[in-house]
């Protein structure tokens, strides 16, 4: 538990937003469901890494039941990530870069080509999805309702629209600026 609490602290210290900070103080509230969902993932993953898959599975199921988020204990979310109203979100066994963000109803999963690999600062807005062996660069934003399958995206891009007609546009803000509150 001590290691999981340290991981929560390390994650939250990089989030400079209301409900996560008060002045220089880091805030964690078990009554804030986004905090709780992130905490339960971190506890389940920490327990899993320590070798207790039985307890990890129970914590994963609890998180799924309470928050409707499928963040399996065996996936490797980065040191700093953010769940924003994560209900309906499914996070597959992708490789996640630091400063990863997901909003509600997002899906990350595999096709025959494998799972995606994400750089740092990737943001998934509501109902966005990325499936398959995509190579996603740093500072990529998936716009609301975007859907990408088996397509690489260069760094500093915004994905809009749905497969197969999605478009990739330039992104001018980093995840730290856009979501984490650091300007």
Asked whether residue 15 is domain-assigned, the answer is: yes
Q: Is residue 183 part of a domain?
A: no
Beta strands in the chain (DSSP E): 21-22, 25-26, 70-71, 81-83, 90-91, 100-102, 107-109, 117-118, 123-124, 129-131, 135-136, 141-142, 147-149, 157-160, 167-170
Quick check: is 71 in a domain? Answer: yes
3-19 pLDDT, tens digit each:
999 999 999 999 988 89
Q: pTM of the predicted model, to two decimals?
A: 0.94
Residues 148-181 have pLDDT tens digits of 999 999 999 999 999 999 999 999 888 888 888 7
- Domains: count for the chain: 1
The CATH number assigned to the domain holding 100 equals 2.160.10.10
Q: What is the mean pLDDT of residues 24-52?
A: 94
Establish if 101 belongs to a structural domain.
yes
d(CA 156, CA 16): 22
Q: Which domain holds residue 100?
A: 2-178
If one compares 21 and 83, the residue with the highest pLDDT of the two is 83
pLDDT score, position 22: 86
């Amino acid at each position: 538990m001590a290691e999981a609490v340290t991981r929560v602290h390390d994650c939250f210290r990089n989030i400079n937003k209301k409900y996560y900070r008060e002045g220089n103080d880091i805030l964690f509230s078990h009554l804030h469901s986004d905090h709780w969902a992130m905490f339960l993932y971190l506890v389940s993953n920490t327990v899993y890494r320590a070798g207790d898959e039985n307890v990890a599975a129970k914590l994963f199921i609890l998180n799924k039941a309470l928050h409707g988020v499928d963040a399996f204990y065996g996936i490797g979310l980065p040191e700093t990530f953010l769940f924003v109203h994560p209900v309906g979100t499914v996070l597959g066994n992708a490789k996640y870069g630091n400063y990863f963000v997901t909003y509600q109803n997002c899906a990350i999963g595999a096709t025959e080509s494998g799972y995606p690999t994400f750089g740092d600062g990737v943001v998934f807005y509501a109902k966005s999805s990325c499936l398959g062996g995509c190579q996603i660069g740093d500072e990529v934003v998936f716009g609301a309702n975007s859907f990408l399958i088996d397509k690489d995206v260069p760094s500093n891009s915004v994905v809009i629209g749905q497969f197969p007609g999605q478009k990739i546009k330039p992104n001018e803000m980093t995840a730290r600026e856009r979501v984490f509150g650091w300007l």
